[in-house]
A and B are shown apart, each in its own frame.
Chain A
Amino acid sequence: MSILNLLIAVCLGYVVFLFSVAFAADRAARRGRGAWLRSPIVYTLSLSIYCTAWTFYGAVGFAARSGLEFVTIYLGPTLVMIGWWGLLRKMVRIGRSQRITSIADMISSRYGKSNLLAVIVTLIAVIGTTPYIALQLQSVTLSINAFAQVDLPGDQVSETGTTGFLIAAGLALFTVLFGTRNLDVNERHHGVVMAIAVEAVIKLCALLAVGVFVVWGLGGGPADILARVDASDIARWEVSNSRWIGLTMLSAAAFLCLPRMFQVMVVENQDESHLRTAAWAFPTYLMLMSLFVIPIAVMGLDLLPEDSNPDLFVLTLPLMHGQDGLAIFSFLGGFSSATSMVIVAAIALSTMVSNHIVMPVWLRMTGGTAMMSGDVRSVALLARRLSIAAVVFLGYLYFRLSGGGTALAAIGLIAFVGVAQFLPALLGGLIWRGATRSGALAGVSIGFVTWAYCLFLPSFGPDVLISAEVMQAGPWGIGWLRPYALFGTEGIDNVVHAVLWSLSLNVAGFVGVSLLSFPTPVERLQGAQFVNIFDHSGTSGGWNAGMAQSEDLLIMAQRIMGPDEARKLFARSAQLQGLPGFLPEPSPEFIELLERELSGSVGAATAHAMISQIIGGANVSVEDLLAVADETAQIMEYSSQLEAKSNELADTARQLREVNDKLTKLSVQKDAFLSQISHELRTPMTSIRSFSEILRDTQGLDAGAQAKYAGIIHDETLRLTRLLDDLLDLSVLESGTVVLNPGRARLGDLLDRAIDATGGLDARLRILREAAREDIVVDTDLDRLVQVFINLIANCRKYCDAPQPELRIDVTQRDDTVEVVFADNGTGVPEELQSIIFEKFVRVGETKAGGAGLGLAICREIMTRLRGEIVCLPKPQGGGFLVSFPVAGGLQAAGENVAD
């Protein structure tokens, strides 16, 4: 019990230590004192997450079963690292310049930023990594049980679930805390990387310590160990050629394609030159990790009981020989291997899941634009955190459901084959410009299906996912489709078989479809940028280059914001960063601030494009350019819309103004009209009132005066009545509700009637007529026509100022129209009044009792109803008025018109 308690205490202490390392590193990085975090040694050590618990514990087990073959798992990465100049450098450069966030992002970026491709890569990565996380949980659980067995033999199974769950929860917490602290463009996690580097040192030292103890403590030095090897079961070199070559290639491929490796190698890379150090340091690290594997395996086989698990020799050898301290150290090594793998894998996968699955879905659901607002930011962080928890939980679930055991041990290589399916698309995209999105989709999909069918699904054992019958005879009895013997290739190792067929078909699909399909413009541009990355990007910048960038940024910002504004902004930022002078370090925060400031002036996409042109050698991507074009188009559309709107507004305003003018005019007219009416009514009433008061109040008024005043009152009453009649008549005529009574008569007779009505022929007015020309039969409203005539003749009687007044009535017929001219020998209507003579209340000359000024207005209305007209003739043409109207049919049309 004591050693288990001690183990748990040490373990907890170690976890606290890791938390503080991560915290300190994060804080240092945020304060800009992270120079030591950028050391190439840290980078090299972070690469060691390649060595998981599977390799820490499993390598010895592997060696105990198959001898030297285990070393192939390390030879592949060694070859990749020493060839960094050709391939890794290119990947890192592209990763930096394109701001790649994951392997899914890398592949999708290369193929025109295809999100479908990214989603498929993400799914494969999740499927391939989940069992791997389960494997780590299992190894930690097993190792704890190994200690428990020492204390309480036979009572280990009950605690398996709890231990696994606690570890999973702790890892999820750590990853969420340090993996999603910031969401900067580069996706770099200083705290996590530092913790991993520390763990890398721990696991190497642990393994070396166990090795030294085994070789010199248990054995008698190197010579003794070599002798024991020669005497053991693995003494003979019986490595299968295909497995030796196949596994080396596979591990090399996996080293490039594993999401967690891509994360530390490309995404977390601080400086391209770190690769120089890693080029020799990492192979050395791998070599040291493998150095004592064979000795430990041989000593374990020699010294430990037959049934002991060779996977735990690293732990059980010191434990069985009373080296509790060493055993705990060794446990910490394994613990480190497991935890660092889970943490980085969870970060890498959560980045992929949230960037390529959750965020696109969220953006589509909310219908929001892809603006990087604070809102989106918080959603992205939440998605990242949930994804981390989900990934770790999936691993735990897999661990519980598979029940641990040997089935899980095999999953390491199986997962390698799965992620290796990215390799053709990844490498092809880096070296071959002809590679297309369709090709990549085809290759990855075919490879994935082949891998699942030939290796992954059968790995669960017969009858779990694929029936034993299919395994034996192939689906539907088709022998050449047997999962372990595709196309009759029997007798090969299962893993090598799967590697052979999945990668062959993958490459065939990739190349074939690429050759047949045609890339989109974005794909072609991205392809050119990826393949020729070294042609158009300078060497990566260190700190000094950063300052140069700041200067470039300042120059650019000055052009956009104005010199004073820009200098102020830069100086303020420099002050905030605690730097002297006016140039701040181009930290992500500063770049973000600047981009935000600039986007206020030139739009977000443009600002992004301009800044990324200067920062970190990041090239302006086609997407950026498209976004700029799009933005410009949007602005143009918006402004044209604005213009249309303002035109519309001006139109409306003009119409409103017109209506308002009309209303004002109408209102003025109405006021004037009311005022006129008032005047016309009050004037006779004044006389009536005044004289009636005189008659009433004046005593002794003589009879003559009495009669005269009564007469005035009588006349004024008649005037009032006439005025009211006229007003009513006019309003009926104007409103169009007048009822016309058609009739037929000779025009001469009508004129006779009118003259009789105005007092007949007398000496005061001579009326000249030509009876012969008046012999026209007209078909119209006779009474109304006569009313017009009466008005005109009466006017003449009233207003003609000639000493011998004469009225000439002249009738002419033109076609269907009759024209009657009433011309007198007076001065006529003054020229300035001719245009308004037909308006209401307009009078010529002084008021005489009897005239209200409505007569001509009524005449005009009547003539309009009769489909004719009345106009005032100027003096030179004879003076007077011209009345014209249709001989017949005028009423019919007018009636119809009214009916309308």
Chain B
Amino acid sequence: MGAKVLLIEDEPNITEAIGFILSRDGLTVKSHSNGVDAVDVVRREAPDVLVLDVMLPGRSGYDILQDLRNDDQTQGLPVLMLTARGQTRDREMAEKLGASRYMSKPFSNADVLQAVRDLLMP
């Protein structure tokens, strides 16, 4: 309980929605809306779970994920990827780069919550 979830998402409404869902479950939710400095933010915040959007202004979610996986500190960080582009190619890309979970938008709130819980308790 009280685990920290970092949400990187540029769409404010979605950020708000996810934040609401996860907070209600007792998680601490932090959010960030820009891709450029996302890796730094992850390192600084050191969350227990990362929820990462693919299409971000400045830098793609895939690039961020790749950087995280190449870094010792964040190598094992559970990452839930969200994408609005829903094509198989995207799913394959996410799996290849080492995303822990993958979800396409629009998602069910329950699914997101469950996914984050799963990632917190392996």
A–B contact (CB under 8 angstroms): yes
Residues of A within 8 A of B (CB): 675, 678-679, 682-683, 685-691, 693-694, 697-698, 712, 716, 845-847, 849
List A contacts of B85 (CB < 8 A): 675, 678-679, 682
Q: Could you tell me how many residues of chain B have their Cβ less than 8 Å away from some Cβ of chain A?
A: 26
Bound Cα distance A688, B107 (Å)? 10
Question: Shortest distance in angstroms between A698's beta carbon and chain B's nearest beta carbon?
Answer: 7
> Which of B13, B18, B105, B107 is the most central at the interface, judged by chain A CB atoms within 10 Å of its CB?
B13
Bound Cα distance A846, B15 (Å)? 14
B48 at interface, CB cutoff 8 A: no
B55 at interface, CB cutoff 8 A: yes
Contact B11 A690 (CB under 8 A): no
Contact A678 B84 (CB under 8 A): yes
Contact A687 B86 (CB under 8 A): no
Bound Cα distance A634, B110 (Å)? 82
List A contacts of B109 (CB < 8 A): 690, 693-694, 697
Contact A693 B108 (CB under 8 A): yes
The count of A-to-B residue pairs whose CB atoms sit within 8 angstroms is 68
Contact A712 B13 (CB under 8 A): yes
List A contacts of B21 (CB < 8 A): 690, 694
List B contacts of A846 (CB < 8 A): 10, 33-34, 57
B122 at interface, CB cutoff 8 A: no
Partner of A686, one of B10, B87, B106, B110: B106
The answer to whether residues A689 and B11 also contact, given A694-B21, A845-B57, A846-B33 and a CB cut-off of 8 A, is no
B1-23 interface (Cβ within 8 A of A)? 10-14, 16-18, 20-21
Bound Cα distance A691, B106 (Å)? 11
B24 at interface, CB cutoff 8 A: yes
List A contacts of B84 (CB < 8 A): 678-679, 682-683, 686
Bound Cα distance A679, B21 (Å)? 22
Q: A683-B14, A712-B13, A849-B13 known; 5 other A-B pairs, CB under 8 Å?
A: A675-B85, A678-B87, A679-B55, A679-B84, A690-B14
Contact A694 B20 (CB under 8 A): yes
Bound Cα distance A849, B14 (Å)? 11
Bound Cα distance A685, B84 (Å)? 10
What residue in chain B is nearest A676 (Cβ atoms)? B85
- 6 tightest CB-CB pairs across the interface, nearest first? A690-B17, A682-B84, A687-B13, A686-B105, A686-B106, A689-B106
List B contacts of A686 (CB < 8 A): 11, 14, 17, 84, 105-107
Bound Cα distance A849, B33 (Å)? 14
Contact A678 B11 (CB under 8 A): no
Question: Shortest distance in angstroms between A684's beta carbon and chain B's nearest beta carbon?
Answer: 8
Q: Mark B88-106, 1 if CB is under 8 A from A, else 0.
A: 0000000000000000111
Contact A691 B17 (CB under 8 A): yes
A-B contacts, 13 listed (Cβ < 8 Å): A682-B85, A682-B86, A682-B105, A686-B11, A686-B17, A687-B13, A687-B17, A689-B107, A690-B14, A690-B21, A694-B17, A694-B20, A847-B11
Question: Shortest distance in angstroms between A661's beta carbon and chain B's nearest beta carbon?
Answer: 21
List B contacts of A682 (CB < 8 A): 84-86, 104-106
Contact A698 B24 (CB under 8 A): yes
Question: Shortest distance in angstroms between A832's beta carbon and chain B's nearest beta carbon?
Answer: 13
Bound Cα distance A686, B109 (Å)? 10
List A contacts of B24 (CB < 8 A): 698
List B contacts of A679 (CB < 8 A): 55, 84-85
List B contacts of A712 (CB < 8 A): 13, 16
List A contacts of B16 (CB < 8 A): 712
List A contacts of B110 (CB < 8 A): 693, 697
Contact A678 B86 (CB under 8 A): yes
What residue in chain B is nearest A687 (Cβ atoms)? B13
What residue in chain A is nearest B84 (Cβ atoms)? A682
Question: Shortest distance in angstroms between A763's beta carbon and chain B's nearest beta carbon?
Answer: 24
List B contacts of A685 (CB < 8 A): 105-106
> Which of B14, B17, B55, B107 is the most central at the interface, judged by chain A CB atoms within 10 Å of its CB?
B17
Question: Shortest distance in angstroms between A118's beta carbon and chain B's nearest beta carbon?
Answer: 81
The answer to whether residues A689 and B13 also contact, given A675-B85, A679-B84, A846-B33 and a CB cut-off of 8 A, is no
List A contacts of B33 (CB < 8 A): 846
What residue in chain B is nearest A712 (Cβ atoms)? B13
List B contacts of A847 (CB < 8 A): 10-11, 57
List A contacts of B86 (CB < 8 A): 678, 682
Question: Shortest distance in angstroms between B86's beta carbon and chain A's nearest beta carbon?
Answer: 6
Bound Cα distance A734, B45 (Å)? 48
List A contacts of B106 (CB < 8 A): 682, 685-686, 688-690
What residue in chain B is nearest A843 (Cβ atoms)? B57
Bound Cα distance A450, B108 (Å)? 119
Q: Mark B15-42, 1 if CB is under 8 A from A, else 0.
A: 0111011001000000001100000000
Contact B105 A716 (CB under 8 A): no
Question: Shortest distance in angstroms between B75's beta carbon and chain A's nearest beta carbon?
Answer: 29
Question: Shortest distance in angstroms between A847's beta carbon and chain B's nearest beta carbon?
Answer: 6
Question: Shortest distance in angstroms between A793's beta carbon and chain B's nearest beta carbon?
Answer: 24
Bound Cα distance A693, B13 (Å)? 14
Bound Cα distance A774, B109 (Å)? 54
Question: Shortest distance in angstroms between A22's beta carbon and chain B's nearest beta carbon?
Answer: 88
The answer to whether residues A691 and B11 also contact, given A678-B87, A686-B105 and a CB cut-off of 8 A, is no
Question: Shortest distance in angstroms between A688's beta carbon and chain B's nearest beta carbon?
Answer: 7
Bound Cα distance A698, B11 (Å)? 22
Bound Cα distance A686, B106 (Å)? 4
The answer to whether residues A683 and B108 also contact, given A678-B85, A678-B86, A678-B87 and a CB cut-off of 8 A, is no
Bound Cα distance A697, B21 (Å)? 10
Contact A849 B87 (CB under 8 A): no
List B contacts of A697 (CB < 8 A): 109-110
List B contacts of A693 (CB < 8 A): 108-110
Bound Cα distance A687, B107 (Å)? 9
Bound Cα distance A685, B18 (Å)? 14
List A contacts of B104 (CB < 8 A): 682
Partner of A683, one of B11, B57, B87: B11
Bound Cα distance A682, B110 (Å)? 18
Question: Shortest distance in angstroms between B99's beta carbon and chain A's nearest beta carbon?
Answer: 18
Question: Shortest distance in angstroms between A720's beta carbon and chain B's nearest beta carbon?
Answer: 11
Q: Mark B51-90, 1 if CB is under 8 A from A, else 0.
A: 0000101000000000000000000000000001111000
List B contacts of A698 (CB < 8 A): 24
Bound Cα distance A422, B21 (Å)? 122
Contact B105 A683 (CB under 8 A): yes
Bound Cα distance A845, B21 (Å)? 28
List A contacts of B13 (CB < 8 A): 687, 691, 712, 716, 849
List A contacts of B14 (CB < 8 A): 683, 686-687, 690
Partner of B87, one of A675, A688, A694: A675
Question: Shortest distance in angstroms between B113's beta carbon and chain A's nearest beta carbon?
Answer: 10
Bound Cα distance A426, B107 (Å)? 109
Bound Cα distance A694, B109 (Å)? 8
Bound Cα distance A694, B34 (Å)? 25
Bound Cα distance A716, B20 (Å)? 18
What residue in chain B is nearest A708 (Cβ atoms)? B16
Bound Cα distance A689, B21 (Å)? 13
What residue in chain B is nearest A697 (Cβ atoms)? B109
What residue in chain A is nearest B57 (Cβ atoms)? A846
Question: Shortest distance in angstroms between A784's beta carbon and chain B's nearest beta carbon?
Answer: 31
Question: Shortest distance in angstroms between A79's beta carbon and chain B's nearest beta carbon?
Answer: 106
Question: Shortest distance in angstroms between A709's beta carbon and chain B's nearest beta carbon?
Answer: 8
What residue in chain B is nearest A691 (Cβ atoms)? B17
Bound Cα distance A682, B103 (Å)? 12
What residue in chain A is nearest B24 (Cβ atoms)? A698
List A contacts of B105 (CB < 8 A): 682-683, 685-686
List A contacts of B108 (CB < 8 A): 689, 693
Contact B18 A849 (CB under 8 A): no
List A contacts of B18 (CB < 8 A): 690
Bound Cα distance A712, B11 (Å)? 12
Question: Shortest distance in angstroms between B9's beta carbon and chain A's nearest beta carbon?
Answer: 10
> Which of B10, B109, B110 is the most central at the interface, judged by chain A CB atoms within 10 Å of its CB?
B109
